[in-house]
């Protein structure tokens, strides 16, 4: 199984570190990417790390992942709560998928409690701050290894 992992980030996450730091923290998306790249090296993974404010771009990257990736970590941000299209795209991907939210969405407004993506995710993380990215990457590496061992 491929050791390439896609880390996909949805709308407004380009403002990470600047928008509502009391909720999302002070680390920027560039900080998160640098941490993920260092960890990916340790785990023997290669990474594609993307962010978009456009739903179709996230869908196109999921389609691309179908061709060559072993796993996906996705923070769909607000699309979590609205996008059947992202769920459908993930349903067309075979490898492990981890859904990640920086904040604990269950402690927030009721409209953030429902996720379309959770119906596909192999694991869901919420409320670990930006540390969650590293944890999710470790989990994906484990799931890729487990699949390879059973192949």
Number of residues counted as binding ligand DHK (CB under 6 A):
10
| CA–CA distance, 40 with 49 (Å, rounded to integer) | 11
Q: Give the Cα-Cα-Cα angle 106, 25, 104 (nearest 5 degrees).
A: 10
Helix H, strand E, coil C: the string for 5-50 is EEEEECCCHHHCCCCCHHHHCCCCHHHHHHHHHHHHHHHCCEEEEE
Q: How far is the CB of 123 from ligand DHK (least distance, A)?
A: 15
Neighbouring C-beta atoms of residue 138, cutoff 10 Å:
15
The residue from 32, 59, 74, 102 that contacts ligand DHK (CB under 6 A) is: 102
Please tell me whether residue 14 binds ligand DHK under the rule CB under 6 A. no
| CA–CA distance, 96 with 122 (Å, rounded to integer) | 6
Q: Choose the stretch contacting ligand DHK; rule: CB under 6 A; options: 29-37, 50-58, 86-94, 95-103.
A: 95-103
The residue from 4, 71, 103, 139 that contacts ligand DHK (CB under 6 A) is: 103
Nearest C-alpha neighbor of 13 from the set 103, 81, 98: 103
Q: Is 75 annotated as a binding residue?
A: yes
The residue from 75, 99, 121, 133 that contacts ligand DHK (CB under 6 A) is: 75
Please tell me whether residue 12 binds ligand DHK under the rule CB under 6 A. yes
Please tell me whether residue 78 binds ligand DHK under the rule CB under 6 A. yes
**Which residues line the annotated binding site?**
75, 81, 88, 102-103, 112
């Amino acid at each position: 199984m491929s050791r390439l992992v896609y880390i996909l980030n949805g709308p407004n996450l380009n403002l990470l570190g600047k928008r509502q730091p009391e909720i999302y923290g002070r680390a920027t998306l560039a900080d998160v990417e640098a941490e993920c790249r260092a960890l990916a090296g340790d785990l023997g993974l290669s990474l594609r790390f993307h962010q978009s404010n456009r739903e179709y771009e996230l869908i196109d990257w999921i389609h691309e992942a179908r061709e060559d990736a072993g796993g996906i970590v996705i923070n769909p941000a607000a699309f979590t709560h609205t996008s059947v299209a992202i769920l459908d795209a993930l349903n067309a991907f075979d490898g492990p998928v981890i859904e990640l939210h920086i904040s604990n969405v269950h402690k927030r407004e009721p409209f953030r409690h429902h996720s379309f993506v959770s119906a596909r995710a192999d694991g869901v993380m919420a409320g670990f701050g930006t540390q969650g990215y590293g944890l999710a990457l470790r989990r994906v590496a484990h799931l890729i290894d487990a699949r390879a061992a059973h192949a």
